[in-house]
Structure 1
Amino acid sequence: MTTKVTEDIQAIWIEFKKDSRNQPLRNKLMVHYFPLVRFNADRVWAKLPDGVDLNDLISAGVFGLMDAIEAFDMERGVKFETYCVPRIRGAMLDELRTMDWVPRLVRSKASKLEAARKVLQARHGRPPTDPELAEQMELSAEEFDKLKNEANAVNLVSLNKKWYETDSYKDVREVDVIEDLKGEDPTLGIQKRDVMKLVTKGLNRNERLIIILYYYEELTMKEIGQTLGLSESRVSQMHSSIVARLKEQLRRRRPEFA
């Protein structure tokens, strides 16, 4: 049965590439590969805080799938599933970027790092080294490495972005040159999200943000205060109160986890 389905899809691909304006054929391909969109949307969504609509990711992924179908070159010898997944995820990341979901303080770290880089570049006439950047920002090597990793995490890049032009009709894009060096177990993301929901249930917006930014984003009390427009002492006071309440809630619910 699987072989028959594969042969049918291959036949549809051949006919579609003969006439890429044939929408019925394109729609058949869209329906066949849609589960890839849903699977990747679930994976991305599982790692995000509340407030992001899964359907928005799916919609963005559908456009990524459509683009992949239009651009896919059968003669390259690459499986379409391998080719389209980065484009689907890239479209989802583009959607997240337009939604501006990255915490402001996390983004501000990237801005501070870039500002220090520009100062040293102008001073030395060359790209600065990490030790030079750490000294400029008055950070230890360990603190700088942490900040650098967090700053790099906010740089969402569209995998559909043009990498360079070629003499042929087909441009080379990010998705064609980037290498996926790791794969994540979606179960861990789901578990992390479930724990986040359990811990933050019943908290108001500021209390929930304090917990997420402190324990998940690993920001300092001062940075959280700047994000929420509160003093560092107020954030610390709220954090202590929240932790005390959570301990009491978990104590009462301990038999559920026995």
Structure 2
Amino acid sequence: MIPNPVPTRADREVRMSTKTDVDVMELWRDFKAQPTTSLRNRLVERYLPLVKYNAERIWQRLPDGVDLDDLISAGTFGLMDAIDAFDLSRGVKFETYCVPRIRGAMLDELRTMDWVPRLVRSKHSRMEEARKALEAIHGRPPTDAEIAERLGVTPEEFEKMALESNAVGLVSLNKKWYETDSYKDVREIDILEDKKGEDPTRRLQRKDLMRMVTRGLNRNERLIIILYYYEELTMKEIGATLDLSESRVSQMHSSIIQRLQSQLADRRPEFGI
């Protein structure tokens, strides 16, 4: 008779994991069949470690003053919403489904939270008061050393205060600017002016203007316009480049300008000139 093998630790862990998965599936089926508060609380307890794990990861990248418990609380509400909305029939793991909702709830909480600590705001106010007082006394912007002396702190302490107070001026790009009747609110990032951006209408106008300017010009005439107005060469340098005399280049330039002025006369309002 062959004796039964003694189960190893790995075997026991596999059996426990399988049993746990079966229990969780039964809990899910019971909750979807009858979504009571008691069953939902049991599911929340089961997946609460996911909330704590994601809260700690986000919290590590945040400045001092943000409470970890606030993130966990917001993530728990996100977990509860995910439990209510989860569809068992889709065959998706709940862990995969709920994590984006948990993190989204935490990020929404951060957007509505003033994470700048009161002490930092107090230091910033003191620095601004000292700066204004010294500016009124001296009639000029004060130096950092003068502000530090008025505050009664060392240069090293003032440098630290100045660094911390920079946080007061930070603005979240996701901060709500105002609400609209549509599903999407207007946020700070939607109203920021892109100073590097180019008006597409003006770009099309410039292309149209360039086509009109160069239309009817021969090779030497186009080169004179480009070299003089874009490359900023002198008439003498252009003449050397095109193997023409300086007076001839000047004569051709005057003729080109006269023709262009005539062509542009009717289109001045269109190009704003």
Name the TM-score, length of structure 1 as normaliser. 0.43
Q: Which has the larger radius of gyration?
A: 2
Name the TM-score, length of structure 2 as normaliser. 0.41
